A and B are shown apart, each in its own frame.
Chain A
């Protein structure tokens, strides 16, 4: 494939006895956005780290062109005792490209993400959403060949989410390949051309994000660590908050899911229909 910027060839990754990824093969091309979804711990972050070369495959190979520029938005950002401005300026210097341009870009991004006023205070005082904004800004300081996004929107306000989507679309137009790991179906619909779900370590093409909207349930569970009936179908993701369970489901499956969860002793606390904005 002439435009392929990165190729995964039969890549497997094991942690001890657990095989997180099994013989994963795909190519990502210039200007393409590929989404990865799946349950927590299914291997999305591991796949991104393999793409970045931050971890090595147990077997198989990840191939990328020489001198490829990779930008990465990690899932969580450390609470450093440095100000956002100092950190971003330092990371900009490490990038090595035109410093005047990087500085100007940093100022634009701080304004875009409404972070200019807080940019002088230490990051350790930031909220989760503000931390994620710093994480996003550092990745957009300069042009990349591959952009790796790990749950990029977590905790961010709506304005920043929109700004983020605009930036990714801009990068895609400029030829950047994007690998996006996330749970948010609207984000996948808004940005990705293709989507895969990681299940049992294997990559399966995923039609759901493009085919129908998702329904978000918030259940009160009868006890902490409540287990969802294993034969329940149509569940896209779950988040256990100790006594509360957030469950995202395909629209077509939500009647059955609601009935079975209530039967299992759960209480419905909230339900919403999530659509692409």
Chain B
């Protein structure tokens, strides 16, 4: 495990030094600054919308990380680790770390504003349970976004424009899946293919607190989707090698 973590550190260093992480990071910052500029805010619904924004930013980061892979370094890491699976795991670890950092930052921003305003930024007092719910939702959505973006690896979708177009269409289908299903009911069978972001937005409509059942469903949907996306990616990369 230590060697996989060391490989992840190397892959992260190679990626970060390219500067490709700047734009998705900046997009998230712009969202947080503008979205939380005016209070008071409802904690649950604003967290759900932040989770959606985080999903989109992490999709962006996931695509740029996957497509920015330096093949020679990945090949050397694969040989030194002795397996493609371990090499892929090291890259997944980078996305997991990025998801944790982005989620912590996205949670810290409004909570700091709330603390600075003397607890008046949110329409009610924030308790430990809220913070746990907030972090769970944000980490889960950002992980799902990173995993979804990773599907558009350059060995899976060769053409860059096509990759971005497909990623965008997938996001739109995910965001509007509920609306599409109402118009075209048969779409319900296809909707599991798309990121589970529609339920992320609507599940907490009108909620004052993170209800355990709803939170569990939202978190589970994101983790299942992320696990499925990682598995599909590994299967495809095992077939489509260098």
Contact = CB atoms under 8 A, between A and B. Distances in A.
Given A74-B75, A94-B81, A80 B242 contact: no
A91 B80 contact: yes
Nearest to B19: A81
B172 interface: no
Contact of A90 (B2, B10, B242): B10
Contacts, number: 66
Nearest to B18: A81
A67 interface: yes
Contacts of A254: none
B156 to A, nearest CB: 15
B157 interface: no
Given A80-B70, A81-B17, A95 B80 contact: yes
B75 A71 contact: no
B241 A93 contact: no
Contacts of A71: 79
Nearest to B74: A54
B203 interface: no
A94 B10 contact: yes
A39 interface: no
Contacts of B242: 49, 54-55
Interface of B is mostly: helix
Interface string B1-15: 011001101100110
A250 interface: no
A82 B84 CA distance: 24
A55 B241 contact: yes
Contact of A96 (B3, B14, B75): B3
Contacts of A55: 241-242
A94 B17 contact: no
A65 interface: no
Interface in B1-57: 2-3, 6-7, 9-10, 13-14, 17-18
Nearest to B77: A94
Q: Which of A82, A87, A94, A96 has the most CB of B within 10 A?
A: A94
B13 A70 contact: no
A90 B9 contact: yes
Contact of B17 (A53, A74, A82): A82
Interface string B75-104: 111111110100000000000000000000
Contacts of A95: 3, 80
B235 interface: no
B22 to A, nearest CB: 13
A77 interface: yes
A93 B79 contact: no
A124 to B, nearest CB: 9
Nearest to A54: B242
A138 interface: yes
Given A52-B75, A82-B13, A94-B10, 5 more contacts: A55-B242, A74-B72, A93-B6, A94-B77, A96-B2
Interface of B: 2-3, 6-7, 9-10, 13-14, 17-18, 70, 72-73, 75-82, 84, 239, 241-242
17 contacts: A49-B242, A55-B242, A56-B239, A67-B82, A72-B79, A80-B14, A80-B17, A80-B70, A82-B17, A86-B13, A90-B6, A90-B9, A90-B10, A93-B9, A94-B80, A94-B81, A95-B80
